[in-house]
């Protein structure tokens, strides 16, 4: 169910060409290719796009750990930028679920520039579980004509 929700019919994934590389038991990996329309003045993906990719991958990791698509919301997301995003380079986010309380889930992870072994950012965050937002128990269908 998690992989179906995070599929190509999701509006954000379509715009950013985000791809789920791996998802299993609290571990998630997602990639985003380079795109001129999402680039900054240096010709690199904008840092905001990296934060979006990391935040989305955090949700993927949490959903896969919880084994349900109950609503979650970002409470705190700390991203430490270790290096600049290289120009004309895609990104990969790798995130792991750390644990939970009754109302919160916790993650850690890293972002990598394609072709580089060292991370260019780290992420740590907490997410509310069971929020009042929409339920994600239905996968997104194809856009209506």
pLDDT in tens, 92-140: 999 999 999 999 999 999 999 999 999 999 999 999 998 876 555 454 4
Share of the chain above pLDDT 90, in %: 73
* Residue-range domain boundaries for the chain: 2-129
2-129 domain in CATH 3.10.129.10? yes
Closest CA to 108 of 118, 38, 21, 119: 119
What is the pLDDT, as a whole number, of residue 139?
A: 46
pLDDT in tens, 22-47: 999 999 999 999 999 999 999 999 99
For 84-95, the DSSP string reads PPPTT--EEEEE
Rg from Cα positions in the chain: 15
pTM recorded for the entire structure: 0.86
Measured between alpha carbons, how far is 89 from 122 in angstroms, rounded to an integer?
Answer: 18
């Amino acid at each position: 169910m998690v992989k179906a929700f995070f599929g190509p019919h999701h509006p954000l994934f379509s715009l950013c060409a985000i791809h789920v590389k791996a998802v299993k038991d609290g571990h998630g990996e997602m990639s985003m290719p380079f795109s001129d329309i999402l680039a900054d003045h240096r010709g690199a993906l904008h840092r905001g796009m990296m934060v979006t990719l990391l935040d989305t991958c955090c949700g993927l990791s949490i959903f896969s750990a919880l084994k349900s698509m109950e609503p979650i919301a970002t409470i705190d997301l700390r991203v430490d930028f270790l290096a600049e995003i290289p120009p004309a380079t895609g990104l990969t986010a790798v995130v792991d679920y750390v644990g939970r309380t009754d109302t919160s889930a916790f993650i850690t992870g890293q972002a990598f520039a394609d072709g580089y072994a060292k991370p260019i950012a780290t992420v740590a965050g907490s997410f509310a579980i069971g929020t009042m937002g929409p339920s994600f128990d239905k996968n997104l269908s194809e856009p209506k004509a």
